[in-house]
Amino acid sequence: MFFENRENNPVKRGCIEVICGSMFSGKTEELIRRLNRAKIARQKVEIFKPSIDTRYDEVNVVSHNETAITSTPVETASQILLYAEDASVIGIDEAQFFDDELFNVCNQLANRGVRVIVAGLDMDYLGNPFGPIPKLMAVAEDVTKVHAICMKCGNLAQYSHRTVQNDKLVMLGETDTYEPLCRNCFNEL
């Protein structure tokens, strides 16, 4: 982000933006939209995703409705710093799959003047805060919570209900494995 100081000179200021919500709520779609706007503005954009996320593509970030943007898969959050040297805008998808070091990486980038846009689940399948997202929400300049539609009653949904038996915290899946639910329908299960 650029602001003007008292002498009307542009001053580069970093920030953290978090896009969060349940599965099927449009997090990745919103991330891609913001990154494409930054590209239109001729800003240097780099996009990262965890290398374990291979559901739609091994390299690209792809939304559920198949909108895609080229990314760099990384094993750890600290690797982002190696590839983000000249970027003015950094996009990070599926941030909940990164370790807690993502919090430090995002703060370090923002402190260097980079606009960091992070998308991820804010709650796991049990309804508990998930990964580094809650800490990032606390320090972010902007938090956007998007909602899906409850598959049981049609209200706004903020929970990612797992429909198969599996106790692993991290389990990649789609509509065959998860469904968005509102608070009431989630609690009824």
pLDDT tens readout for residues 109-143 = 999 999 999 999 999 999 999 999 999 999 999 99
SS3 content of the chain, % helix, strand, coil (to 5): 25, 30, 45
Query: CB–CB of 98/74 below 8 Å?
Result: no
What's the confidence (pLDDT) of residue 63? 66
Q: Which tokens belong to 121?
A: 């689940």
Percent of the residues in the chain that have a pLDDT greater than 70, as a whole number: 85
Active site residue 94: yes
Name the residue among 160, 153, 96, 176 with its Cα closest to residue 126.
160
pLDDT less than 70: residues of the chain: 1-12, 54-60, 62-64, 66, 172-175
What does pTM read for this prediction? 0.88
All domains of the chain, ordered by start, with CATH? 2-146 (3.40.50.300)
pLDDT at 73: 94
Active-site residue identified among 17, 30, 46, 94: 94
Average pLDDT, the chain: 89
